[in-house]
C-alpha cells in the first residue's frame, strides 16, 4: 500500500501548545511505520531499536492485526462487562490460558501496564481480605524497579525522579535491593551468596509476616535497571521464601512478556511459579491499549466464592483490545517470535560485546533475548559513572536519533546516577537488520565518546 506524506509545512502547523507531556521538547511527527522502521514527516527513516517503549513486539504495520481491528470495530466496538459477554474477550482469555503455565488459568483484563499492576495488588489483597486474613495488606518490591506511574504502581516503583514530587501522596512500601551484580548492593565482587534474594526473608520478618500480601518483581529488570538478568538461583530462593510465608509472588511481565526475552514469558527461564503474572505492552504490541493479569486458578475461585472482586474499569475486557490481543498472540506464536528473539538476541548481544571492545565508555553489556542494554562508565576499571549532569545516556540517545536509530535511555542507580540505554528491536528483526542496527549504534557511540572526551577535557 502507498502512503502520501502530508507536506512538512502543514504538519509543523499542528505543533501547538495545547498538547503536552513531560517537557516542552518538540519532536518530529511520525508519518508511517513498517516492520522495524519508522519514517518521520520529513521523510527521515529510523530503525526502531527500542520497539517504541519496548512494546511493539510484532513490529509496525502488521496488516493482519490492522484488519482484525477494523473488522471488530465494524462489528461491535464496546460491550460493558456487566451487561454483555463478548466473544473476543472469552476467546482471548482461553488462548492466553493455553500458553500460560497450567496453574494460571484465570485472566482479568485492563487497559495498561500500570492498571494491570494495580489490579494484581488489589486481587492479592482481596483474596486475603475475603478469607479473613485482613492484616495482609503490605507489598514488598525492589530498588531500583519500575512498575508504572499511577499512585499504587508508583508505590512499588523505585526510580527517584519519578517518585520524589509525589512521595507525600504515595503509600510507603518496603524495598529490597535488585540483583544489580555490576554494582553489587552488598559490594561483593567475586563471592555471592545471593544476599539480595535473602533480603526478602529479612524484610518479611522485619515487617511482620502477617502483614505481607505480596512481593512484586520484574523477572528481568526493565527500564530502571537496564535489562538486569538475575543470577541463576535467584528465583528459586525468592520462590522458597514466598511459599514459606504464604506471600503472593507477583511477576511483572509487562515488559518481558510476549516473547521479548526469548520465551513467551520470562518466568519460563527459571521455572518459577508465579501466583500472578502481570501483562501489557507486547500483548497488543501497541495496536490497541490492553493489559491484564493471569492469576492462580484456586485463589481466584476461592476469592469469587467468598464475596468476589471489588474492582474494574470501564474498558476492562473490551472487544477491540481483546480481538487485537488474540490476533497479536497468534502472530507471535505462528511466527515463532520468541525463538527468533532468542536467536537474534544472541546475535545482538555478540555485536554489542564487539562494540564494548571498541569503546571504553561501555562498562557492561547485559540482557536476555531482545531485551539488551549497555551501561556507560567514565572508568571501566573502577566502574565510575559519568557525572550525572552530563546526561551521557541522553547524549548517546540523541546521537543515535541523529543517525536514525531509536534507543531507550535511563539511569541505573535509582534513576539518579549512571547511564544506560536499552536496545530492544521488534521480535521480527532479521540478522541483516541487526547488522544495520549495530552499524548505526557504532557511529552514535563514536560521536558520543568524542563528545564525552571533550567534556572531560574542558573540566580538567
Ligand X SMILES: Cc1ncc(COP(=O)(O)O)c(C=O)c1O
Tell whether residue 117 is a contact of ligand X (CB under 6 A).
Answer: yes
Among 46, 108, 127, 146, binds ligand X (CB under 6 A): 146
Tell whether residue 68 is a contact of ligand X (CB under 6 A).
Answer: no
Tell whether residue 257 is a contact of ligand X (CB under 6 A).
Answer: no
> For residue 53, which phi and psi values (nearest 5 degrees)?
-100, 50
Tell whether residue 404 is a contact of ligand X (CB under 6 A).
Answer: no
For the chain, the farthest-separated pair of C-alpha atoms sits apart, in whole angstroms, at: 69
Closest CA to 78 of 325, 328, 283, 315: 315
> How far, in whole angstroms, is CA 425 from its chain's centroid?
13
Among 254, 274, 300, 405, binds ligand X (CB under 6 A): 254
Among the residue ranges 21-29, 59-67, 125-133, 142-150, the one whose residues contact ligand X (CB under 6 A): 142-150
Residues 261-280 that bind ligand X (CB under 6 A): 280
Residues 171-210 that bind ligand X (CB under 6 A): none
Q: Residues 220-249 vs ligand X: string with x where CB under 6 A?
A: --xx--------------------------
Return the axis-axis angle of helices 234-245 and 195-207, rounded to nearest 10°: 20
CA distances from 282 to 74, 112, 309, 336, 364 (A): 24, 11, 26, 14, 26
Q: Which is nearer to ligand X, 112 or 378 (CB)?
A: 112
Q: Are 331 and 129 in contact (CB under 8 A)?
A: no
**Residue 278, strand partner residues:** 252, 293
Q: Which is nearer to ligand X, 113 or 426 (CB)?
A: 113
Tell whether residue 147 is a contact of ligand X (CB under 6 A).
Answer: yes
Cell, residue 371: 531485551
Closest CA to 182 of 393, 392, 365, 437: 365
User: 3-class DSSP state for residue 370?
Assistant: coil
Tell whether residue 252 is a contact of ligand X (CB under 6 A).
Answer: yes
Tell whether residue 107 is a contact of ligand X (CB under 6 A).
Answer: no
Cα–Cα distance measured from residue 434 to residue 424, given in angstroms and rounded to the nearest whole number: 10
Q: Which is nearer to ligand X, 121 or 405 (CB)?
A: 121
What's the min distance (Å) between Cβ of 53 and ligand X? 6
- Which chain residues interact with ligand X by CB under 6 A? 53, 112-114, 117, 146-148, 218, 222-223, 252, 254-255, 280
Amino acid at each position: 500500500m502507498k502512503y502520501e506524506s502530508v507536506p512538512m509545512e502543514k504538519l509543523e502547523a499542528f505543533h501547538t501548545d495545547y498538547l503536552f507531556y513531560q517537557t516542552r521538547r518538540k519532536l518530529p511527527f511520525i508519518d508511517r511505520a513498517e516492520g522495524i522502521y519508522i519514517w518521520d514527516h520529513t521523510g527521515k527513516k529510523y530503525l526502531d531499536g527500542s520497539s517504541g517503549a519496548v512494546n511493539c513486539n510484532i513490529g509496525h504495520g502488521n496488516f493482519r492485526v490492522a484488519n482484525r481491528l477494523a473488522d471488530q470495530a465494524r462489528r461491535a466496538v464496546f460491550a460493558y462487562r456487566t451487561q454483555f459477554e463478548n466473544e473476543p474477550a472469552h476467546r482471548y482469555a482461553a488462548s492466553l490460558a493455553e500458553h500460560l503455565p497450567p496453574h494460571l488459568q484465570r485472566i482479568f483484563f485492563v487497559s495498561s501496564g500500570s492498571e494491570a499492576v494495580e489490579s494484581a495488588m488489589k486481587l492479592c489483597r482481596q483474596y486475603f481480605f475475603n478469607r479473613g486474613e485482613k492484616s495482609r495488606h503490605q507489598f514488598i518490591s525492589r530498588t531500583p524497579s519500575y512498575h508504572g506511574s499511577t499512585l499504587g504502581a508508583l508505590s512499588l516503583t523505585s526510580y527517584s525522579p519519578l517518585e520524589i514530587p509525589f512521595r507525600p501522596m504515595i503509600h510507603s512500601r518496603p524495598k529490597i535491593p535488585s540483583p544489580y551484580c555490576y554494582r553489587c548492593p552488598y559490594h561483593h565482587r567475586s563471592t555471592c551468596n545471593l544476599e539480595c534474594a535473602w533480603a526478602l526473608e529479612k524484610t518479611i520478618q522485619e515487617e511482620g509476616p502477617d502483614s505481607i500480601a505480596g512481593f512484586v518483581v520484574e523477572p528481568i529488570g526493565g527500564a530502571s535497571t537496564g535489562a538486569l538478568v538475575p543470577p541463576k538461583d535467584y528465583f528459586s530462593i525468592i520462590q522458597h521464601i514466598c511459599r514459606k510465608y504464604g506471600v503472593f509472588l507477583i511477576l511483572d511481565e509487562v515488559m518481558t512478556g510476549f516473547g521479548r526475552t526469548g520465551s513467551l514469558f520470562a518466568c519460563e527461564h527459571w521455572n518459577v511459579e508465579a501466583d500472578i503474572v502481570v501483562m501489557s505492552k507486547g500483548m497488543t504490541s501497541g495496536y490497541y491499549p490492553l493489559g491484564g493479569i493471569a492469576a492462580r486458578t484456586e485463589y481466584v475461585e476461592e476469592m469469587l466464592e467468598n464475596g468476589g472482586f471489588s474492582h474494574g474499569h470501564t474498558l476492562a475486557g473490551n472487544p477491540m483490545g481483546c480481538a487485537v490481543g488474540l490476533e497479536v498472540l497468534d502472530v507471535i506464536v505462528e511466527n515463532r517470535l520468541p525463538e527468533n528473539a532468542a536467536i537474534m538476541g544472541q546475535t545482538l548481544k555478540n555485536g554489542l560485546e564487539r562494540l564494548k571492545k571498541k569503546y571504553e565508555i561501555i562498562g557492561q553489556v547485559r540482557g536476555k533475548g531482545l531485551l539488551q542494554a549497555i551501561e556507560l562508565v567514565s572508568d571501566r576499571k573502577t566502574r565510575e559513572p559519568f557525572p550525572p549532569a552530563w546526561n551521557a545516556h541522553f547524549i548517546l540517545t540523541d546521537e543515535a536519533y541523529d543517525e536514525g536509530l531509536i534507543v531507550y535511555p535511563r539511569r541505573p542507580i535509582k534513576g539518579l546516577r549512571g547511564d544506560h540505554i536499552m536496545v530492544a528491536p521488534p521480535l521480527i528483526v532479521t540478522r541483516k537488520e541487526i547488522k544495520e542496527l549495530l552499524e548505526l549504534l557504532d557511529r552514535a557511540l563514536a560521536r558520543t565518546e568524542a563528545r564525552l572526551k571533550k567534556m572531560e577535557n574542558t573540566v580538567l
